[in-house]
Amino acid sequence: MAEHSILVVEDEHTLRRLLEYRLSKKYNVRTAANGEEALVRVSEELPDLIISDIMMPKMDGFALQASLQDRKETSVIPFIFLTAKADEQSRLKGRRTGVDDYITKPFDIDQLLARVERLLARTSHFQTQLDARIGEDFSRKLIPKQLPRVDGYKLEFHNAPREVSGGDIFDWTEVKPGVYFITIGDVMGKGLQAKVYTFSFVGYIRSMLHALLRTSDSPAEIMARINQLLVDDPPLEDSFATLLFLRWEPARNLVTYANGGHPRPVIITERGAEILSYSDIILGLDGHAEFKDTAVSIPPGAAILTYTDGLLEQQMASGEQLGEEGVIRAAGEAFGSDRPLDRIVSGVLSESAKPEFADDILLFWMEREASMATIRQTPRWFSPFGESADPK
């Protein structure tokens, strides 16, 4: 299927058919005989590029181009003029009005095709760079500026957005002194749209957590309520997400979690690493889905690793995905390291098919020190939407 669409605007029937025939071998092509017809075609579907004659009945090429420039949604469509006029005045007028290229008839069709390809490639590159910059801005707002500081525990966080793909979530809240509620998740989708949606979704989840935590601090109960809201709320009915809620109580060395279809955490001790096996359905699929709380004690020296599917699905040099077994192995090898997440990332990449991750990855490491100190927690609140806030 052709990736790009082109609108050819030419009043000469034979030339119009010729251009349609040659361009349609590589692109989706629509045609119009004059500027008025072209505006109708544009209103039906925005093209990626317009090739237009200048001298045409009803509405000429300059009038068409000016009309498109007046509208925000069409002003950036790349534009190539075809004309029998070879005078410099026409060329200058075209350049002043934002025409991207200017080809004089008669022309070599292969030359035109080369210019079309070059112009579309330049436009795609510009759009990719723009999306990447916007996506990076969203990513910076979706990751923590700081983590809880708790004596007796070491916390690490690693987030590596892959251009604009994916929508990983991380957030934490101290719901009451010494009790933390941690959210890790992944919004279904790719590209900038997923990133924009993730930003909105984090705000939605955070506001729901504020409301729901007033009556319950059960991860399972809150998971069920948010799942029901995703199913019942019309704007969100086609939304799907994996979420992992952790209620962490450092003074009790206890984590209670509910898992809505998210990659399963790993617990690592001196005896080795293993998967925390419980997981329920992805959120947004079934309004009647049930979730349960699972409590895990953290022995002295033990660690818990949580992560998103970008790590799990990384393609390895063997041709297979890393998978849970690979995550377990990487976590075990990183255990005892001063920088365990750096060790995991470098170890996985050293055995990957390519020296980079194909998708966003987000890792969170929580490790209890072998000798516990007096519990002390600061600060009380973190949100990616502000430096600090009072949860009361």
What would the pLDDT profile of 46-64 be if each residue is shown by its tens digit?
999 999 988 898 898 889 9
Is residue 103 domain-shared with residue 153, that is, in the same domain?
A: no
Is residue 16 domain-shared with residue 104, that is, in the same domain?
A: yes
Question: Which residue, 98, 130, 162, sits at the end of a domain?
Answer: 130
Give domain status of residue 137, yes or no: no
Return d(Cα 257, Cα 245) in angstroms, integer. Answer: 5
Give domain status of residue 299, yes or no: yes
pLDDT band at 387 (very low <50, low <70, confident <90, very high): very low
Identify the domain containing residue 14 by its residue range: 5-130
Tokens of 117: 């390809």
Give domain status of residue 31, yes or no: yes
Phi first, then psi, for residue 176 (nearest 5°) are -160, 165
Question: Which residue, 130, 159, 178, sits at the end of a domain?
Answer: 130
Q: What is the pLDDT of residues 259-278, one digit of tens each?
A: 999 999 999 999 999 999 88
Q: What is the pLDDT of residues 186-235, one digit of tens each?
A: 876 544 455 556 666 666 777 777 788 788 889 999 999 888 877 776 65
pTM value > 0.75: no
CA–CA distances in Å: residue 286 to residues 224, 238, 290: 10, 12, 9
Please count the other Cβ atoms lying within 10 Å of the Cβ belonging to residue 126. Answer: 11
Give domain status of residue 248, yes or no: yes
Is residue 332 domain-shared with residue 272, that is, in the same domain?
A: yes
CATH number at residue 260: 3.60.40.10
Please tell me the total count of domains within the chain.
Answer: 2
Q: How far apart, in Å, do the first and last CA atoms of the chain sit? A: 55
Give domain status of residue 388, yes or no: no
CATH number at residue 38: 3.40.50.2300
